[in-house]
Structure 1
Amino acid sequence: MADEVKLDDNQVTATAPAEVAAPKKRGPRAKKVDAATAESSPAPSAGKGRKRKETSAEAKTASQPKRAARKNAARKNDDKRTAAQSQVHDEIADLLQLEKENSRLRRELGDKLRAENAELRKRLGLS
């Protein structure tokens, strides 16, 4: 065959297969427990594993301080927002007052300059 290519031993480099680490083995799976039996029998406290879930009465009493803390935090945030908003409103009011004062002063200055220009024209005899 004309398409065959002959390779010398010098041209071919053999690559050794890379060593593959053995996969880690896991321990046995935990057994599944029905919801009814889980509530009636508490989980063992000693040993590895998750903490047992609180019962509904315990959960309600435990969550009440959290709710109160959230409400207090919300109030503090609202107070900060209202304080910031009132500060912004005060700044805007100050800026508006300054704008009014600037326009009044510009009118007065314009009137003074017109009067001075009229007086200078009379002295020079231009009009």
Structure 2
Amino acid sequence: MKPHGSWYIAWQDDLMTIDLEGSFNKEGVLQLQHDIRSEVLRKKMTEWARLEIFHVDTLATPDAVHAVEQFSPWYALNGCVAFGAVCNDSVQKTLLKKVYRDGVYIYNDTNVAVQSLQGIRHPRRYG
């Protein structure tokens, strides 16, 4: 099946920002994970934070959510010390809390999220 969902990855010092839009299927999530892994390895990051920005229409199919859960340990094993997400609705917030439990900071404002996560050096556990 063709990957669904779109994303843009950018770095601001040690903060990886991932702009997410659309409905993601498993194939889209797997391609996104490949791109994230490639970016981290390319930059040779040893300690970094991640911010995912969810647009209003951004959701995932159940098998895509399962792929996210399976990939989750990779982040901590590869230097990600904090994870934040900017959500636009309660469905997104509920889904993130289900997948990551207490391992995610939830924000309503992108600027606040960036300021909070830039330069962070406090390790977080991923649920």
TM normalised by structure 2 equals 0.16
More strand by share: 2
Considering only CA atoms, is the larger Rg found in Structure 1 or Structure 2?
Answer: 1
